[in-house]
């Protein structure tokens, strides 16, 4: 057993012991390093068949000491981004759209929702099939736009709904049942719904913020401005942080052990990058 496995066990245990010792040394001496320890190049020759003691050498990249002298002359501006009326109007429009409702319409528009009865002579009939004109191509919605309740529109469901899932949903069947179905139908419009944006008023304010929180257009606009200001302040804080960092970095000269770090990047990435790529990207 020793002859078969002894050398492998010895090599594994030696390198484990060495690695543990290196990291214990770093910890005991509170050494601040960059990257990880790397075996020195070249290493002393090792013969595990004959040697009973071993010597290894490791390189460490010491983190540089940073001596930053802060004075009152170092100033970084903090910006307050103003909220203009255009931004407020755009936010209000989004709220009006988001909190709108589907209402009855007399005539079908290009983005309306229709309910239709699909019928075939001596064939398949589907009641209350739903067609969203908004998602159809202009040529396919043309027959429905301008239609009124009771209007009858010829439709080829295969041409209008090329996706099998959409066609199966329209006909209220499984996709597996589509094969062999006659695609020619007459669609009789039974219901027309159009999207109506919300209207400014107490019901609208209550829907967004809860009952009684906002009670006038002026309060609503003030609330909108506060929302936008809060989001913009996060942008301002981020820019301030970046500017402070860049300003402080410009005040110090940090010398890095570049040759070691390039070697460590090559080793740590296990050949994913060539030395040439690392040299090019290192800055």
Q: How confident is the model at residue 42 (pLDDT cuts 50, 70, 90)?
A: confident
pLDDT digits (tens, 9 = 90+) for 205-263: 999 999 999 999 999 999 999 999 999 999 999 999 999 999 998 888 888 899 999 99
Query: Are 110 and 207 within 8 A, CB to CB?
Result: no
Query: Are 133 and 145 within 8 A, CB to CB?
Result: yes
pLDDT digits (tens, 9 = 90+) for 255-269: 889 999 999 999 999
Q: What is the DSSP string of 25-60?
A: HHHHTT--EEEEEEE-SSPPP--TTT-SS----EEE
What's the whole-model pTM score? 0.52
How many CB atoms lie under 10 A from the CB of residue 171? 19
């Amino acid at each position: 057993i020793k002859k078969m496995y002894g050398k492998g066990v010895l090599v594994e245990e030696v390198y484990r012991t060495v690695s543990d010792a290196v990291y214990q040394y770093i910890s005991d001496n509170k050494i601040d390093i960059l990257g990880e320890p790397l075996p020195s190049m070249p290493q002393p020759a090792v013969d595990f068949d004959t040697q009973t003691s071993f010597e290894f050498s490791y390189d460490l990249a010491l983190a540089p000491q940073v001596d930053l002298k802060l004075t009152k002359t170092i100033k970084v501006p903090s910006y307050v981004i103003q909220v203009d009326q255009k931004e407020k109007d755009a936010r209000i429009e989004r709220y009006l759209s988001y909190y709108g409702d589907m209402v009855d319409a007399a005539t079908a528009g290009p983005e309306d929702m229709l309910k239709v009865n699909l019928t075939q002579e001596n064939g398949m009939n589907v009641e209350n099939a739903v067609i969203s004109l908004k998602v159809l191509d202009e040529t396919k919605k043309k027959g429905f736009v301008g239609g009124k309740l009771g209007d009858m529109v010829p439709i080829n469901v295969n041409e209008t709904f090329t996706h099998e899932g959409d066609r199966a949903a329209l006909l209220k069947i499984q996709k597996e049942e589509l094969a062999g179905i006659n695609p020619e139908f007459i669609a009789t419009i039974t219901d027309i719904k159009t999207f109506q944006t919300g209207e400014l008023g107490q019901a609208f304010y209550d829907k967004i913020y809860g009952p009684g929180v906002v009670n006038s257009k002026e309060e609503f606009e003030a609330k909108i401005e506060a929302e936008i200001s809060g989001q913009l302040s996060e942008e301002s804080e981020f820019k301030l942080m970046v500017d402070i960092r860049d300003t402080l970095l410009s005040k110090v000269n940090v010398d890095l052990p570049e040759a070691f770090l390039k070697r460590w990047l090559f080793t740590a990435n296990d050949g994913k990058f060539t030395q040439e790529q690392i040299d090019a990207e290192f800055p």
